[in-house]
Homo-oligomer: A and B are copies of this chain.
Amino acid sequence: MSKCEQCIVRQFSSLKALNKEELLKMAECKTSYIIKKGEPIFEEGETTNGIFCIKDGVCKLTKLSANGKDQIVKLVKPGELLGQRSLISEEPTNLSAVALEDMEVCFIPKKEIMEFFNENNQFSMNMMKSVCGDLKDADDHMVSLAQKSVKERLAETLLELEDTFGKNDDGSLHIQLSREELAGMIGTATESCIRLLSEFNKIGLIELIGKKIAIIDRNKLKRMAE
């Protein structure tokens, strides 16, 4: 059983408040999983009874809308936690989590998390800050969806993706999303997304390298995002 104490990613989440003793307790109760690209970690409506800590790989949080399309609400990366919202609310999850890459995650049962809440005030504060950060992001995202055009949202999203996940040697976005997934992030039809990517390509804002996307003119793209 690997030791949480030596796990680097915990430094990036609320878990960084845990002391040696608590980390030992966590190491004993946790379960590690390998999730293959495309597989779910949990699905909308499930009761998870614990939280997941992402050690490696990125996943998408999606919600199925009435028209059958998956809306991507957030991308989650190594160091972040998953499932806090429903654990704290004591409700089934309102979102599905699906791996965009091969992933390594650890599951920590609800019982231990609740004990940390009760005994470690800094942990509680960290968790609260993290949820508040998500809420701020969600509010910003809402305004963008409500008030910006699809073109503006695409430009904005491409910039965010580069900022958050970086780029490969050839300049293309490191995070690999299908056109359908990208459309699901900006809230539009897949064809509209593809069409706008073509347009951005033609006017030299981006370059399409196969399915990959490279940002060429960051400043123009920024102006386009308003």
Identify the A interface with B (CB < 8 A). Answer: 63, 65-67, 69, 71, 73, 84-85, 88-89, 91, 94-95, 117-118, 121, 124-125, 127-129, 131-136, 138-148, 186-187, 226
- The interface residues of chain B lying within 8 Å CB-to-CB of A84 are 132
- The interface residues of chain B lying within 8 Å CB-to-CB of A144 are 65
Interface centre among A67, A125, A135 (most CB of B within 10 A): A135
- Let me know if A71 and B128 touch, CB within 8 A: no
Q: Could you show 6 A-B contacts with beta carbons less than 8 Å apart? A: A65-B143, A73-B139, A85-B135, A88-B128, A88-B132, A117-B125
Q: How far is the CA of A113 from the CA of B144 in the complex (A)?
A: 32
- Let me know if A117 and B121 touch, CB within 8 A: yes
Q: How far is the CA of A133 from the CA of B226 in the complex (A)?
A: 31
- The interface residues of chain B lying within 8 Å CB-to-CB of A89 are 129, 132-133, 136
- The interface residues of chain B lying within 8 Å CB-to-CB of A186 are 146
- Let me know if B63 and A143 touch, CB within 8 A: yes
Least Cβ–Cβ distance between A117 and chain B, in angstroms: 7
* Number of identical monomers bound together in the oligomeric complex: 2
- The interface residues of chain B lying within 8 Å CB-to-CB of A117 are 121, 124-125
Least Cβ–Cβ distance between A188 and chain B, in angstroms: 8
- Let me know if A135 and B134 touch, CB within 8 A: yes
- Let me know if A136 and B187 touch, CB within 8 A: no
Nearest B residue to A186 via CB reads: B146
- The interface residues of chain B lying within 8 Å CB-to-CB of A131 are 128, 131-132, 135
Known: A63-B143, A128-B128. A94 touches B136 (CB 8 A): yes
- The interface residues of chain B lying within 8 Å CB-to-CB of A141 are 142
Q: How far is the CA of A59 from the CA of B117 in the complex (A)?
A: 32
Q: How far is the CA of A133 from the CA of B71 in the complex (A)?
A: 19
- The interface residues of chain B lying within 8 Å CB-to-CB of A88 are 125, 128-129, 132
Q: How far is the CA of A143 from the CA of B138 in the complex (A)?
A: 11
Q: How far is the CA of A30 from the CA of B91 in the complex (A)?
A: 34
- Apart from A145-B146, A147-B187, 7 more pairs, CB < 8 Å: A66-B148, A67-B148, A88-B129, A94-B140, A95-B139, A118-B121, A135-B138
